[in-house]
Structures are given as structure tokens and as C-alpha cells.
Amino acid sequence: MPFLLEAQQKEYKRFETRPINERYIIDYSDQLSVKIYGIIKSNTIAHVNHQTEAKIEYKPNENFNIGFGLGYKWFGVDLAFNFSGVNDDDETFGNTKRFDIQSNIYARKFAIDVNLLKYKGYYGANPEDYRTSYDPDNPYPIRSDIRTVNFRISALYIFKHDKFSYRSAFTYNERQIKGAGSFLAGPFFSYYKMDADSTLIPMEAVANFNAEVDFRGSEYIRYGLSGGYAHNFVIGKRVFFSLTFAIGLGPEIKKTPALNGREADVEAKFTGQLALRTALGYNSEKFYAGLAAVGVFSGEREKEDYLERGVSNLKIFIGKRLNPPKFLR
């Protein structure tokens, strides 16, 4: 056996696409992936007072939809439906009308998120915090007049994309067989607007808030750069846990309309946001199952009152890989 071994190693530029390191990742993109899954999406808002730590939180009626998905090579599609009998709770949480696209795209070097949401109809999620005589058996306070529009697009570059795989934890056309992580960085842009027929502060909670602060008709434009870290933990080459956090920083432009004698105003300041992504599951040669969650949370902390926003989705699924039919090959 030799005491000295010499060999040449190919060097890659920093942003050049590197091939998969097979000691860390197995590629299953040549297999047809089929799955059934359930998903719940949310788009929350909250009026928060920084001094008293009081919060009035509103949520939409969060339907649990059931569907199926197919994936082959670079292409994948998921279709989910709201089945009758699964979400018959309008009397408790009200009726939410929504247009909701939350797309999470996982390429070799990038994780791209595109959200386009338009919601109408929310309910008060924490009445026990401000109603002393609140009965939990009664319906939640319904606010069918609250309307929100939310658009966001972001991209995160995966620096160690040869060893770390988002696809193994979220789209399952790969499998991480050895734990690895990567730093992330990339730009983001978002637009948000909230409106309602009356203030978000209920009469019972006025004493804990600045009644002069009213977020109706306010618009928020935010852009900047995000940076963070992601890691896939692997147990026995099949069980995994994935965790990502990314902090975004940049300017935010807040447009406030004229309301209740208040003059219209435009304010710009430096703010931040937090993006989280996690998954837990089982991934083998033929079968996979697990759950995954993606969320983005923001809110410009003021001396007194501010508007807190959050968009998230939670998915649970089980699937199998098959040999693709000839017409696909």
C-alpha cells in the first residue's frame, strides 16, 4: 500500500453549479413520484402594543384541504381540494373568501418562494385576552369586513448545493443520506395592504392600545437581502429533520391614507423579517412520508402600536416512487 497518494481535484468557481456529491445525496429524479397529502394555509394579522404587550390577533378560517401530487424530473404538480364535510365550521370561525397561491420552488442552487394572497373575512383568535366574560363555547368574534392583499417573492442561493438538498426534505425527488448544511443568501420583495370597515381594536380592549393608531388602508412595500443557514439532520440514512432560518433586512415604505381627520403620510425606515422552513419525515428508496412547514413573519416594531403579519403553510403527506411509463422516459 502506498504511503503517499497524489491526484487532481477539479476546482469550481464560487457560483458555478457543482454536481451532486453522492456520499451525501441520492438522486431519484428519474423516478415517478406520486403522493397524497393534506395542507392548511394561513395569513394572520395582529394589532400589537409594544409597551403593554397586548395583542389583538385575527386569523382566516383555515381550511384543511386534501389532494394528490405527481413529480418527474424537473416537473411537479400538487392539486388540493376543499371536500364537503371536512371544513364545516363557518358558524364558529366565519366565512373566508380567498385567492391563495403559495409556491415554494426548490432548484439545485436556489429556493424560490412566490406568494400571492387576497383574503376577505377573519375572526378574532384571542378573545380570552380582552373579554373578561368570554365563553369558549360561543363563536369567535367574526370580522367579515377585514381584507388583506399580500404579494411576496424571494430567492435564496444555496452555497453548498452539492452536499445539501432541499429537495430531499420538501419535494422528495432526492434523498439526503448524510447530514449537511449550507449558508443561504438572496433578495426579497413584498407588498402588503390591509383594510377594514372599522378599527382592529375591539371596544373591550381600547384601554390597552393607542386608539389613535389605525392601520386601515395602510400599504407596506419592503425589499432587501436575506441571509441565513439551513441544515438537514439524518438518522440512519432514512429519518431526517430539516431546519432553516433566514433574516431579511432592508427599507420599508409605509403608506397611510387620510382617515378620521388624520392626514395621509408616507414613511420609510429600515426593518427586518424572519423566514422559517422546517420538515420532518422518513425517506427511503421507494417510500416517503412526513410533514413540512414554511412561514414568513414581519412587523415593524414601533414605540407603541404596530401591525404584525404572517404567512405560512403546513403540509403532511405520504408517497411512493415508481418506474416511469415509457411515454415519460
| Residue range 255-263: mean pLDDT, rounded | 81
* Contact (Cβ atoms closer than 8 angstroms) between residue 307 and residue 218: yes
**C-alpha distances in Å from residue 288, one per residue of 42, 89, 221:** 25, 32, 39
In which residue are the cell numbers 437581502 written?
Answer: 225
Taking only the tens place, the pLDDT of each residue in 120-146 is 999 998 888 887 777 777 778 899 999
Instruction: Provide φ and ψ at 208, rounded to 5°.
Output: -95, 5
Work out the angle at residue 49's Cα, subtended by the Cα atoms of residues 47 and 51, and round it to the nearest 5 degrees. Answer: 170
**C-alpha distances in Å from residue 71, one per residue of 32, 74, 171, 174:** 6, 8, 8, 11
> Which position has the higher pLDDT, 202 or 87?
202
Cβ neighbour number for residue 285 with a 10 Å cutoff: 11
Name which of 19-23, 88-92, 117-121, 231-235 the model is least confident about.
Answer: 88-92
Taking only the tens place, the pLDDT of each residue in 28-73 is 989 999 999 999 998 999 999 888 888 999 999 988 899 998 888 8
* Contact (Cβ atoms closer than 8 angstroms) between residue 135 and residue 82: no
Nearest CA among 193, 210, 234 for reference residue 305: 210
Domains of the chain by start residue, with CATH: 42-322 (2.40.128)
Task: Look at residue 261 and tell me whether its pLDDT is greater than 80.
Answer: no
**Average confidence score pLDDT of the chain:** 88
How confident is the model at residue 2, as a pLDDT? 44
How confident is the model at residue 28, as a pLDDT? 92
Characterize the bridge pairing of strands 239-256 and 75-81.
unpaired
How confident is the model at residue 235, as a pLDDT? 94
CA torsion sign, 13 to 19 to 22 to 26? positive
DSSP 262: B
How confident is the model at residue 3, as a pLDDT? 47
Helices (H), 154-207: 167-170
How confident is the model at residue 1, as a pLDDT? 40
* Contact (Cβ atoms closer than 8 angstroms) between residue 192 and residue 157: no
How confident is the model at residue 89, as a pLDDT? 80
How confident is the model at residue 180, as a pLDDT? 96
Residue 311 φ/ψ region, left for φ over 0, alpha for ψ in the -120 to 50 degree band, beta for the rest:
beta
CA torsion sign, 308 to 197 to 127 to 117? negative
How confident is the model at residue 18, as a pLDDT? 83
Task: Look at residue 320 and tell me whether its pLDDT is greater than 90.
Answer: yes
Taking only the tens place, the pLDDT of each residue in 76-102 is 788 888 877 777 788 888 899 999 888
| Residue range 184-192: mean pLDDT, rounded | 96
Three-state DSSP class for residue 288: strand
How confident is the model at residue 79, as a pLDDT? 86
How confident is the model at residue 317, as a pLDDT? 92
Name which of 101-105, 132-136, 203-207 the model is least confident about.
Answer: 132-136
How confident is the model at residue 303, as a pLDDT? 63
The dihedral over CA atoms of 308, 264, 99, 152, expressed in degrees to the nearest 10, equals -60
Characterize the bridge pairing of strands 180-195 and 97-106.
unpaired
| Residue range 240-263: mean pLDDT, rounded | 90
* Contact (Cβ atoms closer than 8 angstroms) between residue 277 and residue 105: no
